[in-house]
Amino acid sequence: MTTRVLVPIDGSPQSKDALRLATNLFPQAELTLLHVADPVDRSETDTSSEYERRLEDEHDRATQLFEAAKDDLEGADVTIETAVVTGSPWREIVAYVDDNEIDHVLMGSHGRDGASRFLLGSVAELVVRRSSAPVTVVK
């Protein structure tokens, strides 16, 4: 049975480190790279078309992140799947784990800093607390 490992990526150095660690810890695993397009930055003055354009930009960014990640893993003997979802990062990561029989999550600790982190909570911390699969957080 193949181990299924979820690696949320956001382009941060921590998520890149998490991806490298995933290939070292789980060399025969099936890796799923997940990018969460977070619409939380939508302002009250955004029109529907502006919001849709920003989501499209985020999906384009995800494609670039996936391509860069695959380039970083060139030569590694791993199976890679990719997925983009829209919503609250921690909720979408936890839901993805539950809906896709993920065995382990390996993620970077990167996220909001300062007051935003205090008010909204750390994405990694919330995933650790709520995930049904073990979670490894890379600093």
Give me the domains of the chain, ranges plus CATH numbers.
4-138 (3.40.50.620)
Q: 50: pLDDT confidence band, cut at 50, 70 and 90?
A: confident
With a cut of 60, say whether residue 33 has pLDDT above it.
Answer: yes
Of the candidates 116, 133, 139, 115, the one whose C-alpha atom is nearest the C-alpha of residue 6 is: 133
Residue that has been written with the tokens 């979408």 in this structure: 92
Q: What is the mean pLDDT of residues 57-77?
A: 90
Q: 116: pLDDT confidence band, cut at 50, 70 and 90?
A: very low
Instruction: Record the pTM.
Output: 0.87
Q: What is the mean pLDDT of residues 10-29?
A: 92
Beta bridge partners of 5: 31, 104
